Amino acid sequence: MTMDLSLKGKKAMVCGSTQGIGKATAIELAALGAQIVLFSRSQEKLQEVMSQLAEVETPHEIITADFSHPAEVKEAITSYVDEQGGAHILINNTGGPPAGRGIDADPEEYRVAFNLHLISNQVNAQALVPFMIRENYGRIINIISTSVKEPISGIGVSNTIRGSVASWSKTLAGELGEYGITVNNILPGSTSTNRLEAIFQARASKLGYEIEDVREAARKEIPLKRFASSDEVANAIAFLASPAASYISGINLPVDGGRTGCL
């Protein structure tokens, strides 16, 4: 049997889709035939991304909200579901918390990050799962970090919050499997995005190094000796979203060039 990667007739909501991994994912899922619902806070930037999506039978759509305010996210996605029904695929993705040691972070930083990631993910899932159940097809894919396997030095808040999302995801995988819904996590390693550059800049400033020296040290830690492109991460996401991944659920999938030192 030929592996089925087609998403024709499926609708995918992609959060944080104005840049980086989110944007690459929206482009890839559209190329596989999915109708895309772009979800982020900037209408203008989302319009730019929409112009780059492959045409499908039903026009792509846009909804906007600031993910640091879960009530705003809930209002936006609830209105969308009331009007349009829902989506078969949910890609939970948003920018990570600022770099810094966990012990130095103000407690408010943890609360903000918790809202931005876990609470907004929960709001999105609760809004879309009833549609997925009716359609007997559901994919919830969370873009988190390899830090859920090995904490990464210098991003204490992110390490903590990403871990909570991973446990939430595993819990949902057990609860929703009987409805044909899979729930998985993608763990990007060092990926050429603005986020990675910000981490390198913070590290260089703290240590008094040149940023290129920091980049080179990071590359040397990766067996493939290079950073990922956003497209490479999007390819893994697209596979998990497809019918071909129908029996894969509850996993953490690193896309890190082999850098993570554990299985």
Question: The dihedral of CA 163, 158, 156, 151: what is its sign?
Answer: positive
d(CA 31, CA 50): 12
Average pLDDT of the residues in 45-74: 96
Domain with CATH 3.40.50.720 in the chain: 11-191+229-255
pLDDT at 12: 98
Burial degree of 3 (CB within 10 A; 0-12, 13-18, 19+): exposed
**Is residue 1 predicted with pLDDT exceeding 80?**
no
Tokens 């709001």 correspond to 123
pLDDT tier for residue 76 given thresholds of 50, 70 and 90: very high
Is 1.10.760.10 the CATH classification of the domain at 11-191+229-255? no
Tokens representing residue 15 in the block = 């959060």
pLDDT at 104: 96
Encode pLDDT of 161-199 as tens digits. Answer: 999 999 999 999 999 999 999 999 999 999 988 878 888
Mean pLDDT, the chain, rounded, equals: 95
d(CA 64, CA 13): 12
Encode pLDDT of 198-252 as tens digits. Answer: 888 888 888 898 989 889 999 999 999 999 999 999 999 999 999 999 999 999 9
| Global confidence as pTM | 0.95
Average pLDDT of the residues in 117-130: 98
Q: Secondary structure of 206-237 in the HEC alphabet?
A: HHCCCHHHHHHHHHHCCCCCCCECHHHHHHHH
**Is residue 95 predicted with pLDDT exceeding 80?**
yes
